[in-house]
Amino acid sequence: MDSQSPRSSARPPQRGGGILIALGLVLGAGIGTALGQPSQGLIIGFAVGGALAIALLFADRR
């Protein structure tokens, strides 16, 4: 028996975008704290990281 399924060899592994969200949160909070608005920085960092993760998802689908 073959241990690999046909589906696993048909597609290369996808890249993970979660690190982009995490970095956006950390960097956004840090920059926001430096500017006196940590909550706003956290939200903006999450939005930017999420947008980059979605862009990576679509780029990886090609």
pLDDT in tens, 18-45: 999 999 999 999 999 999 999 999 999 9
Q: How far apart are CA 17 and CA 34, in angstroms?
A: 26
- Burial class for 9, CB neighbours closer than 10 Å (0-12, 13-18, 19+): exposed
Tell me how crowded residue 23 is: count the other CB atoms within 10 A of its CB. Answer: 14
pTM above 0.85, yes or no: no
Q: Which of 59, 58, 49, 47 is CA-nearest to residue 18?
A: 49
Give residue 53's pLDDT band: very low, low, confident or very high (50, 70, 90).
very high
Q: How confident is the model at residue 4 (pLDDT cuts 50, 70, 90)?
A: low
Compute the distance between CA of residue 40 and CA of residue 18 in angstroms, rounded to an integer: 20
